[in-house]
Amino acid sequence: MQSFRTGIGYDLHRLASGRRLLLGGVEIPHDHGLIGHSDADVVLHAVCDALLGAAGLPDIGDLFPDSDPAWKDADSRQLTGRVLTRVSDAGFAPVNVDVIIHAEAPKLGPHKARIRASLASLLRLNEEAVGVKAKTNEGIGEIGTGQAIACWAAALIRRA
Ligand code: MG
């Protein structure tokens, strides 16, 4: 059996006024936030799917369906904790994660360090095992015109 496995994750949520903007478990000051059944933290959702995919487990849409009232306004930090438990129960532990946040606004440069620290804490990793990058969409498309924020994540896990 292989000792190391990789996974990828992706998520996108629409932006709307009157919502908090949560990225990687960190609240970012902005005049818009992400809409979703849960708190719509695209970064944690992408990271969770990367970890679940690496472990060969069902994705977060299967584990926490938006048709289930139990997950309404769910704190994605708690969902991440549940995902870690599933990954651990499957015999794996995270090694590192790397994410790309795709947002036109707000500018995420000043927030990347906090997001990185939050991800490291949630995943029980050293910060050097967490990468956080931010990109704009050069003003084009749904992301570039500020209608949505997306995130890609890659994860490596090892057999514990
Ligand atoms: Mg999501």
Concatenating the DSSP letter of every residue in 134-150 gives EE--TT-HHHHTTSEEE
Write out the chain's pLDDT in tens, 160 residues: 679 999 999 999 999 999 999 999 999 999 999 999 899 999 999 999 999 999 999 999 999 988 888 888 889 999 999 999 999 999 999 999 999 999 999 999 999 999 999 999 999 999 999 999 999 999 999 999 999 999 999 999 999 8
Distance from Cα 139 to the centre of ligand 1, integer Å = 23
Look up residue 64 and give its two tokens: 């926490």
CA-atom Rg of the chain in angstroms: 15
The pLDDT score that the predictor gives to residue 70 is 86
Can you tell me the distance from the alpha carbon of 52 to that of 123, in angstroms, rounded to the nearest whole number? 13
The pLDDT value given to residue 151 = 98
What single letter denotes the amino acid at residue 97?
Answer: V
Cα–ligand 1 centroid distance for 56 (angstroms)? 19
- pTM of the entire predicted model: 0.96
* Ligand 1 centroid, distance to 62 Cα (angstroms): 12
According to CATH, the superfamily of the domain at 4-159 is 2-C-methyl-D-erythritol 2,4-cyclodiphosphate synthase (3.30.1330.50)
Alpha carbon of 86 to ligand 1 centroid (Å): 18
Dist. CA 30–CA 70, nearest whole Å: 28
Structure-token pair, residue 110: 């000043």
CB neighbour list of residue 110: distance below 8 Å, 6 or more residues apart: none
Ligand 1 centre distance from Cα of residue 110 (Å): 23
Q: Which pLDDT belongs to residue 1?
A: 65
- Are the C-beta atoms of residues 9 and 50 closer than 8 Å to each other? yes
119 CA from centroid of ligand 1 (Å):
16
Kindly give the distance from the C-alpha atom of residue 126 to the centroid of ligand 1, in angstroms, as a whole number: 25
26 CA to centre of ligand 1 in angstroms: 15
- Residue 1 CA, ligand 1 centroid: distance in Å: 31
Tokens of residue 46, six digits: 């992408």
Q: Residue 76: in which H helix or E strand, if any?
A: helix 76-89
Backbone angles phi and psi of 31, in degrees to 5: -80, -5
Residue 115 corresponds to which tokens in the numbers above? 């997001």
Domain boundaries, the chain: 4-159
